[in-house]
């Protein structure tokens, strides 16, 4: 059997670029929570953050301002670069990191459709990492795609998904730290009776629901909807799968939710799907019809698992060929930082990391609804 060589040393020198942002800060929490072994950690952000420092493993790490015209010296002696910046900045930095010999995991959309850069969700297609050699660039998929595919890929493997209709309910923090601060400040303004003035979004986000804030193409799809389509096809290596998406923002601080309707090639009933999901890595079934308790973003916030519930047959389709689900997943964590760190763990281990084979199981009806870590995360 072919055993891949680890692409990273046992204690890699790590750089997090965009460390002060919503994803970057979560990256530090995930690295710390998972005790990811690090030789030397360097944090980069813009000149706005010069002089700042961020907490990590009981100490504070200084944030270095990235030069206006960075060169490869920035990544000298760095094994792993975790990028959490805009797509434009990623396009500038990736060639520099590559020429310095570093492995890059990029959270932006810049390289997601580049055939030379694998687009990876470890629970779904992590095995493609085993074929990599040298200073590889790995693209982290879009957050809505990750959350949907962690939930539905086990069903796809067992019954073949022919068509998927996704309606998203996306948290404001998907648009970054400033957007999260905007919802908080609008709540304070409302409580104080002050006028609400949108700045990050084009419209008020408090008490409102609006179409996703990305560009709309000539076909009427916004960028988020297009990413769900193109990235799912690439990750499943299935250019025929049909996907219809409607992506919307809701006034939630963090964790995206998605209503998903599936058309299957082979029949699968709801009970079978629920049992399968309870055994699937990265998934926690929350499906308590008696208590009307199902996935909620506030319970997904800060959690590693994608919560899946409302599992039911879609009786508008031929018997057994239609399923409905509702999922909530923390898009800063599994939708970005955690997925990136899991990729790094896979590369460091030279194969799948043991913890990532664990299924979240089915949440007992008696389990406290919100674990303390989720309550802390929801408030951050
Ligand atoms: N938010 C999500 O849920 C999510 C999920 C998946 C993927 N992503 C992707 O992840 C990336 C980061 O998103 P985010 O939400 O974390 O954004 P964010 O909160 O706005 O953070 C952006 C980060 O980039 C830094 N930055 C900006 N300009 C820079 C420059 N010229 N040089 C160096 N650093 C610079 C910022 O530093 P300062 O603080 O100094 O300005 C900050 O650390 C984006 O590509 C986004 O599409 C986001």
pLDDT in tens, 180-219: 999 999 999 999 999 999 999 999 999 999 999 999 999 9
* Topology given in CATH for the domain delimited by 145-331+359-379: Dihydrodipicolinate Reductase; domain 2 (3.30.360)
Q: What is the pTM of this model?
A: 0.95
Query: Would you place residue 357 in the very low, low, confident or very high pLDDT band (cuts 50, 70, 90)?
Result: confident
Check pocket membership of 91 for ligand 1, CB cut-off 6 A: no
Cα(277) to centroid(ligand 1), Å: 33
Every domain of the chain with CATH number 3.30.360.10 lies at: 145-331+359-379
Catalytic annotation on 143?
yes
What's the pLDDT tens digit per position in 23-71?
999 999 999 999 999 999 999 999 999 999 999 999 999 999 999 999 9
3-state class (DSSP) for residue 146: helix
| CB of 86 closer than 6 angstroms to any ligand 1 atom | yes
Please compute the mean of the pLDDT values over residues 279-291 and round it to a whole number. Answer: 98
Among the listed residues 156, 212, 256, 299, the single catalytic one is 256
CATH top class, domain 14-141+336-356: alpha beta
The encoded tokens of residue 331 equal: 């898009």
Nearest to 173 by CA among 81, 297, 60: 297
- 239-264 pLDDT tens trace: 999 999 999 999 999 999 999 999 99
Report, in angstroms and rounded to the nearest whole number, the Rg of the chain calculated over CA atoms.
Answer: 20
Chain mean pLDDT for the chain: 94
SS3 103: strand
Residue 350's pLDDT band (cuts 50, 70, 90): confident
Query: Which pLDDT score is estimated for 360?
Result: 87
Residue 65's alpha-carbon distances to 32, 93, 174, 221, 266, in angstroms, are 22, 14, 24, 36, 54
Catalytic residue, chosen from 143, 156, 212, 299, is 143
Where residue 352 falls among pLDDT bands split at 50, 70, 90?
A: confident
* Start and end residues for every CATH 3.40.50.720 domain found in the chain: 14-141+336-356
Q: Is the pLDDT of residue 366 over 70?
A: no
What's the full length of the chain, in residues?
Answer: 380
Band of pLDDT at residue 379, cut at 50, 70 and 90: very low
Contact 82, 102 (CB under 8 A): no
Mutational pocket test of ligand 1: of 46, 143, 177, the residue with most ligand atoms within 8 Å of the beta carbon: 46
Q: Best substitution site from 15, 22, 44, 181 to test ligand 1's pocket, by max atoms within 8 Å of Cβ?
A: 22
**76-117 tens-digit pLDDT:** 999 999 999 999 999 999 999 999 999 999 999 999 999 999
Task: Identify whether the C-beta of residue 299 lies closer than 8 Å to the C-beta of residue 307.
Answer: yes
12 CB under 6 A from ligand 1? no
The whole-number pLDDT of residue 2 equals 57
Residue carrying the six token digits 């580049």: 114
- At residue 200, the pLDDT reads 97
Instruction: Indicate if ligand 1 lies below 6 Å from the C-beta of 332.
Output: yes
Mean predicted confidence (pLDDT) in 142-163: 98
pLDDT at 145 over 70: yes
- The alpha-helical segments, DSSP class H, found in the chain are 22-33, 87-99, 122-125, 143-159, 177-191, 223-236, 270-278, 297-300, 338-349, 372-379
pLDDT of residue 373: 40
Residues in Cβ contact with 239 at an 8 Å cutoff, skipping those fewer than 6 apart:
233
């Amino acid at each position: 059997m072919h055993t891949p060589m680890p692409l990273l040393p046992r204690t890699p020198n790590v750089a997090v670029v965009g460390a002060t942002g919503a994803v970057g800060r979560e990256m530090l929490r995930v690295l710390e929570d998972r005790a990811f072994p690090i030789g030397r950690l360097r944090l980069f952000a813009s000149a706005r953050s010069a002089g700042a420092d961020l907490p990590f493993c009981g100490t504070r790490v200084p944030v270095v301002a990235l030069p206006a015209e960075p060169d490869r010296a920035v990544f000298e002696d760095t094994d792993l670069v975790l990028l959490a910046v805009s797509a434009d900045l990623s396009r500038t930095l990736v060639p520099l990191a590559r020429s310095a010999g570093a492995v890059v995991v990029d959270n932006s959309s810049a390289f997601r459709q580049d055939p030379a850069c694998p687009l990876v969700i470890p629970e779904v297609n992590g095995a493609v990492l085993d074929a990599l050699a040298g200073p590889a660039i790995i693209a982290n998929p879009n957050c809505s795609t990750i959350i949907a595919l962690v939930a539905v890929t086990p069903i796809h493997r067992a019954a073949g998904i022919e068509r998927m209709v996704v309606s998203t309910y996306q948290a404001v923090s998907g648009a970054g730290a400033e957007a999260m601060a905007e919802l908080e400040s609008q709540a304070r303004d409302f409580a104080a009776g002050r006028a609400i003035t949108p700045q990050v979004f084009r419209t008020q986000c408090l008490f409102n629901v609006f179409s996703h804030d990305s560009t709309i193409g000539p076909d009427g799809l916004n960028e988020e909807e297009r990413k769900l389509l193109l990235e799912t096809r690439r990750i499943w290596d299935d250019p025929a799968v049909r996907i219809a998406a409607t992506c919307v923002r809701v006034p939630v601080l963090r964790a995206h939710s998605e209503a998903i309707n599936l058309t299957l090639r082979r029949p699968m009933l709801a009970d079978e799907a629920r049992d399968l999901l309870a055994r699937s890595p990265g998934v926690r079934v929350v499906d308590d019809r008696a208590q009307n308790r199902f996935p909620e973003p506030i319970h997904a916030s800060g959690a590693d698992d994608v919560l899946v519930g409302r599992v039911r047959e879609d009786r508008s389709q031929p018997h057994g060929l239609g399923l409905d689900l509702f999922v909530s997943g923390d898009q800063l964590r599994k939708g970005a930082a955690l997925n990136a760190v899991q990729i790094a763990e896979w590369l460091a281990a030279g194969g799948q990391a043991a913890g990532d084979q664990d299924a979240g199981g089915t949440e007992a009806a008696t389990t406290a609804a919100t674990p303390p870590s989720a309550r802390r995360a929801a408030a951050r």
